[in-house]
Amino acid sequence: MFKPFELECISCGEKYKTGNFYNCIKCGGILNVKYNQSKYKLKNNQLIVDNSIQGLWSYKEYLPINNENNICSLAEGHTPLIKSKISEISGNLFFKDETRNPTGSFKDRPTTVSISKAIENKCKGVVAASSGNAGIATAAYAAVAKLPAIIFVPENLPNEKLLQASIYGAKIIKVRGDYSSSFELAKKVALEYNYANLTSTYYNPYGLEGDKTIAFEMYNQLGHLVPDFIIIPIGAGPLLTGIYKGYLDLKEMNLIEKLPKMIGVQAKGCSPIVKAFKENNKNVEPWNHVNTIASGISDPLKGYDQDGTYTLNIIKGSGGYAISVSDEEIIDSVFSLGNGQGIFVEPTSATVFCGYKQLRKSELIKKDDLTVSIITGIGFKDTKPLYKFIGKIPIVEASLMEFDSLNILENE
Ligand SMILES: *Cc1c(COP(=O)(O)O)cnc(C)c1O
Ligand SMILES: [Zn+2]
């Protein structure tokens, strides 16, 4: 395992030694983990995977930890990549199923890295502002690390997400307002009390390093082919940027030649990045009235709109697109993924299938284009928007006559 070269500000280029840093002290810009490239190691000209380690730390050669004893892991990552079997639309589509992670979402990846780094930096406890899944992951990993955890969440968080974080033993605090208010308070509390801030926006620079392992896994799962397109639901966008960073690393190591086009999907009721993309604005502006069932990406970016601008530039630089989808389409896609693929997703994660259909229709993605949709979170986490769509469930006596009267075998 090697040390990160340093943290580098993406705006002014200022460099910092690794430590409890968040935004650039000089200009407030986003910090990025930069490795000393000459130290990138390969074995037989391939990525080094330590198969004695469960979870994404098998890629430890490429992760920013100095001492292995500081790793806090729940065997996250190494999720399956599954070919689409949905008959409604055929194409060269795969799903990277992140619902299989220990807490049910990809957020376990950024969290395992940022908490391990927090342990290495000897923090007293951890905080996170979260629209749900990052707080849940923080709570679970903090439980294993035996660190106190405080999670700040928006008022309207789905009950299942509150429940799950509580089971892991974190202290949960609702903050009036949308996600941006939680973000603000987490920042203040962490700085005041010397807790590490694991908020999974770009604020904590280590999270992205966990996200990038998705690219490494897909590189091996696709027999070294690079997808033409990768479709991802985006809040502020670190997942998208982290995966892209992984592909940039692979290119830097001369393992691949081309890069994937990145597609960010937002919900119509909260789509600041899509708006800037469509209007060709240089900067992303905060969103005012959040109104969507996609709770995991309801991120209005108030107070850190630079995060959105960073993501916008990554998308554009990759030659990709930012698109938005409606709540009705999202519900439809929850069912498509359920009864077409056997995957139960939370509404936020269904956006990627809506996005695929939209881009196939407009022919920006062709049938043969190798496309991966990242399935970010499991359906049990956010069920309320779905109940009114499942129809009435009949109840009968244990009699064949009553069963027959239901006429559910109408095609026989
Ligand atoms: C956090 C989250 C996202 C968005 O990820 P960002 O890195 O914040 O853009 C997408 N889907 C789910 C289920 C999430 O929890
Ligand atoms: Zn700076």
Record the tokens describing residue 209, joined without a space.
């390093």
Which pLDDT score, from 0 to 100, does residue 200 have? 83
| C-alpha span between 359 and 349 (Å, rounded) | 17
Task: Give me the residues near ligand 2 (ion), CB cutoff below 5 Å.
Answer: 9, 11-12, 14, 24, 26-27, 29
Give percent of the chain above pLDDT 70. Answer: 98
pTM for the complete prediction?
0.96
Please enumerate in sequence order all residues whose Cβ is within 8 A of that of 204, keeping only pairs 6 or more positions apart, or say none. 22, 110, 114, 196, 197, 198
Which pLDDT score, from 0 to 100, does residue 37 have? 65
Give the closest residue (by CA) to ligand 1 atom 2: 296
> Which of these, 168, 217, 249, lies nearest to 57 by C-alpha position?
217
Q: What is the DSSP letter of 397?
A: -
Record the tokens describing residue 294, joined without a space.
């996609």
Which pLDDT score, from 0 to 100, does residue 3 have? 57
Please enumerate in sequence order all residues whose Cβ is within 8 A of that of 294, keeping only pairs 6 or more positions apart, or say none. 233, 266, 267, 269, 270, 327, 330, 347, 348, 351
Q: Could you report how far apart the first and last alpha carbons of the chain are, in Å?
A: 62
| C-alpha span between 162 and 283 (Å, rounded) | 34
Please enumerate in sequence order all residues whose Cβ is within 8 A of that of 87, keeping only pairs 6 or more positions apart, or say none. 340
Name the E strands within 234-318: 261-267
Give me ligand 1 centre to Cα 309, in Å.
17
For a substitution probing ligand 1, which of 101, 151, 297, 375 has the most ligand atoms within 8 Å of its CB? 297
| C-alpha span between 114 and 205 (Å, rounded) | 8
To the nearest whole number, what is the mean pLDDT of the chain? 94
Give me ligand 1 centre to Cα 201, in Å.
9
Per residue in 355-406, pLDDT (tens digit) is 999 999 999 999 999 999 999 999 999 999 999 999 899 999 999 999 999 9
User: Measuring from each residue's beta carbon to the nearest atom of ligand 1, which residues come in under 6 Å?
Assistant: 105, 107, 133-134, 200, 233-239, 296-297, 346, 348-349, 376-377
- Other beta carbons within 10 Å of 384: 12
DSSP secondary structure letters along 94-127: EEEEGGGSTTSBTTHHHHHHHHHHHHHTT-S-EE
Which domains does the chain possess? Answer: 81-101+207-389 (3.40.50.1100)
Please enumerate in sequence order all residues whose Cβ is within 8 A of that of 189, keeping only pairs 6 or more positions apart, or say none. 127, 150, 152, 195
Which pLDDT score, from 0 to 100, does residue 411 have? 63
Residues of the chain where predicted confidence (pLDDT) is lower than 70 = 1-4, 37-39, 410-412
> Which of these, 243, 224, 343, lies nearest to 353 by C-alpha position?
343
